[in-house]
Amino acid sequence: MNKTINPFIVSGKILSEYFCDREKESGELEKALTNELNVVLTSSRRMGKTSLVDYVFDKPTIKNNYITITVDILHTTTFREFILAFGNAVFDSVATRSKKLRKQFVTLLKSLSASFGYDPLQNTPTFDVKLGDILRPEYTLAEIFEYLENVDKRCLVVIDEFQQITRYPEKNVEALLRTHIQKLSNANFVFSGSRRRIMEEMFFSYKRPFYQSAKALQLEPIEREIYLDFAVDHFKKAGKDIDPDAFYHVYDTFWGVTFYVQRIMKDAFAETPVGACCDIDTIKELIDDFIDENDTHLREQLSFITEPQKELLYAIHEEGQVQSITSAAFNKKHRLRSPSSTQTASIKLLEYDLITRKEKIYSITDPLLSLWLSKKK
């Protein structure tokens, strides 16, 4: 008996038959990279940037002709941590392809040569470098770039959550990276980020080192009707059905954010027996369950912010969208402490990505957090 595969994938690689739309974006990304352009890829969190890149990297034009490297730096807080993450990614994606490439890696990374491990079975070095081994990060970075320049295939490097480098205590990281990247002739980069405002400042402000160094590609929510057709089609293939209004409720509730739509649809698909139709009542129950599932996580997230920051967060949530958070009317209505206190709190909430500011309008960043706040009233 063949097991029915749930077509709404929420983790790992998404096979092409389960990948919804993004035809325009994937085509643009593929074209830019094969034309040796760097790309700055932005969207809000959980919109599917990583899945889009994986999807494009799996296409024959990329897979057969390039070495692809992905490094996620969201967890990094210093330049040395960046070097460690970058070095690990390059070793895992490039050096492990052959003994020759492993040995070249060790030979070129002289600043870390004493820190490499050794696999006696394979007769090859291993990347056992620890953070404390990186004593001269600028030299090590230069060596990693030199290695990429000498690899036998062109490399495509994705740096995920690239805006994180602006939070490092070291002040010259942007300029240093830009200097190395612009000298490379054997690699192109995708700078992926979920903090649009920061990414736009980095790449489109003439005062910044990465100014106009990459083609811009922005991910918006998948179109509502296209996503509906995708969902209905996969339900029908499994002998099931879904009420269009039920799907619309999921899409609108989560603002079209891909991960959340996929997750609720995954649960809905699993809950709907063959021959049955998923209705809006089932969807509402699944959404409530999902909010409850994330209760602890969301409580912990808010436990790290101060009382004035919470007060502002609740006020913005109540309004939905706020154009002037320092206005006397807004502060008085929500009994906030003062416009100056509100301004200070907003800076931290923006830094924590709990609120977002787009065209001078403030709103809650995460639809799940917004739903949770509504439920906890």
CATH of the domain at 364: 1.10.10.10
Query: Which domain-ending residue is among 218, 234, 258?
Result: 218
130 within a domain of the structure (yes/no): yes
Domain that holds residue 333: 305-375
164 and 45 share a domain?
A: yes
User: Model confidence over 118-166: pLDDT tens digits?
Assistant: 777 777 778 888 888 899 999 999 999 999 999 999 999 999 999 999 9
| 343 assigned to some structural domain | yes
The answer as to whether 345 is a domain residue is yes
Same domain, 101 and 246: no
Q: In this structure, is residue 15 part of a structural domain?
A: no
Question: Buried b vs exposed e over 253-271: b needs ≥16 C-beta within 10 Å?
Answer: bbbbbbbbbbbbbbbbbee
Does one domain contain both 245 and 340? no
pLDDT band at residue 274 under the 50/70/90 scheme: very high
Instruction: Report if residue 235 sits inside a domain.
Output: yes
Last residue of a domain, one of 293, 326, 346: 293
State the average pLDDT over residues 228-246: 98
> Are the CB atoms for 145 and 176 separated by under 8 Å?
no
Domain shared by 259 and 350, yes or no: no
Are both 74 and 126 inside the same structural domain? Answer: yes
**Strand, coil or helix: 164:** helix
62, 198: one domain = yes
What residue has token string 């291993």? 126
Say which residues have a Cβ less than 8 Å from residue 128's Cβ, sequence separation at least 6.
115, 116, 117
Per-residue model confidence as pLDDT tens digits over 320-357 = 999 999 999 999 999 999 999 999 999 999 989 999 99
Residue 1 lies in a domain: no
Q: Do 288 and 161 have their domain in common?
A: no
Residue 171 sits in a domain whose CATH number is: 3.40.50.300
Q: How many domains does the chain have?
A: 3
pTM above 0.85, yes or no: yes
Same domain, 58 and 166: yes
What local confidence, expressed as pLDDT, does residue 1 receive? 43
- DSSP structure class, residue 213: -
Mark whether 112 and 26 lie in a shared domain. yes
